[in-house]
């Protein structure tokens, strides 16, 4: 990266820390809620998560029980979105599919965020040779298109990845961008007085990083986490579509889209329903991410990383 001399921005430090006091929490909420779309997004997201968690109470159908006497039925009161090629209720699969998509999205985000934060913070704090080595490794990982790496690793597994493995892989290949951001945050923070003071008092390196430096660098982390969920959900769906995703009997939105492909003309609802739901879920999360960025880290260029 080129060396860039950006003039220090005074107002930034006020915004950076996540709200810890009453007044900054209120300020955060004021800035966040200015984005009406983010509020709508939050509401939709909570609704979708609620529906997928309570799916067993909301639908009488199992998402994985084939019923070949009820194949490809059009929408009706009994099946509001009809049935698929195995006679499974499309609405029920949509509800249960949310569980898989959200589980994959949130869990892999937690993994990638954890790695990204720890890695970036260590690299930035240690500095010198360590920093250079660690950043070279980031450069290396980022030199490969993420989807190629994911596909190669999934192909090595030999058969469909389980949900757990899918989460792990998406997490393992999604942290590099965040590591760079956190590192530069830490670099600019570690010369500040309170960190210097802690060092003078003889605190241990790790303690300084996690107690004093990281909290100040967390703003972009929250933003990146929000977009990370959305990106992982889209990635999982794309991998399902390419035949390298979850086992076909797992009701995920990606698998629904994949198997609906052949029915696009005769039963368009089979492809439109999961396609639109995943779009709406991702849009909602991106609305939130956008508002978070505005409220916490307005100058950053963090956004959702698509793999395809």
Identify which of residues 113 and 238 has a Cβ nearer to another protein in the complex.
Answer: 238
Per rule CB under 8 A, is residue 6 in the interface with another protein?
Answer: yes
Identify which of residues 6 and 200 has a Cβ nearer to another protein in the complex.
Answer: 6
**In the complex, minimum distance from the CB of residue 25 to another protein, in angstroms, rounded to a whole number:** 24
Per rule CB under 8 A, is residue 59 in the interface with another protein?
Answer: no
**In the complex, minimum distance from the CB of residue 262 to another protein, in angstroms, rounded to a whole number:** 4
**In the complex, minimum distance from the CB of residue 218 to another protein, in angstroms, rounded to a whole number:** 21
Cα–Cα distance for residue pair 175/171, rounded to 1 Å: 7
Per rule CB under 8 A, is residue 306 in the interface with another protein?
Answer: yes
Per rule CB under 8 A, is residue 291 in the interface with another protein?
Answer: no
Binding mask 31-50 for another protein (x = CB under 8 A): ------x-------------
**In the complex, minimum distance from the CB of residue 211 to another protein, in angstroms, rounded to a whole number:** 31
Identify which of residues 89 and 258 has a Cβ nearer to another protein in the complex.
Answer: 258
Chain position carrying tokens 């508002």? 291
Per rule CB under 8 A, is residue 9 in the interface with another protein?
Answer: no
Among 278, 288, 295, 296, the residue binding another protein under the rule CB under 8 A is 278
Identify which of residues 8 and 202 has a Cβ nearer to another protein in the complex.
Answer: 8
Task: Choose the binding region for another protein from 59-67, 103-111, 190-198, 213-221 (rule: CB under 8 A).
Answer: 59-67
CA–CA–CA angle 98, 250, 262 (5° rounding): 90
Per rule CB under 8 A, is residue 68 in the interface with another protein?
Answer: yes
């Amino acid at each position: 990266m080129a060396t860039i001399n950006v003039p220090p921005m005074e107002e930034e430090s006020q915004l950076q820390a996540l709200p810890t006091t009453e007044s900054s929490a209120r300020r955060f909420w004021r800035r966040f809620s200015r984005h009406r779309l983010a509020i709508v997004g939050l509401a939709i997201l909570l609704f979708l998560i609620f529906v997928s968690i309570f799916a067993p109470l909301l639908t009488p159908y199992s998402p994985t029980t084939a019923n070949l006497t009820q194949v490809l039925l059009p929408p009706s009161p009994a099946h509001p979105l009809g049935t698929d090629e195995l006679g499974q209720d499309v609405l029920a699969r949509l509800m249960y599919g949310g569980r898989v998509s959200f589980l994959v999205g949130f869990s892999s985000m937690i993994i990638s965020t954890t790695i990204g934060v720890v890695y970036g913070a260590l690299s930035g704090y240690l500095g010198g040779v360590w920093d250079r080595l660690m950043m070279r490794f980031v450069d290396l990982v980022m030199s490969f298109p993420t989807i190629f790496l994911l596909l190669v690793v999934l192909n090595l597994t030999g058969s469909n990845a389980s949900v757990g493995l899918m989460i792990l892989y998406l997490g393992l290949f999604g942290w590099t961008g965040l590591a760079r951001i956190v590192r530069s945050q830490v670099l600019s923070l570690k010369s500040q007085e309170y960190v210097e003071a802690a060092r003078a008092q003889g605190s241990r390196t790790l303690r300084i990083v996690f107690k004093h430096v990281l909290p100040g660098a967390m703003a972009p982390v929250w933003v990146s986490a929000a977009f990370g969920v959305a990106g992982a959900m889209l990635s999982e769906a794309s991998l399902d579509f390419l035949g390298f995703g979850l086992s076909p009997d797992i009701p995920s939105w990606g698998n629904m889209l994949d198997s609906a492909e052949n029915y696009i003309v005769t039963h368009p609802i089979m492809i439109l329903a999961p396609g639109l739901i995943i779009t709406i879920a991702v849009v909602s999360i991106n609305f939130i991410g956008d508002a978070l960025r505005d409220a916490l880290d307005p100058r950053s260029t963090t956004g959702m990383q698509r793999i395809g």
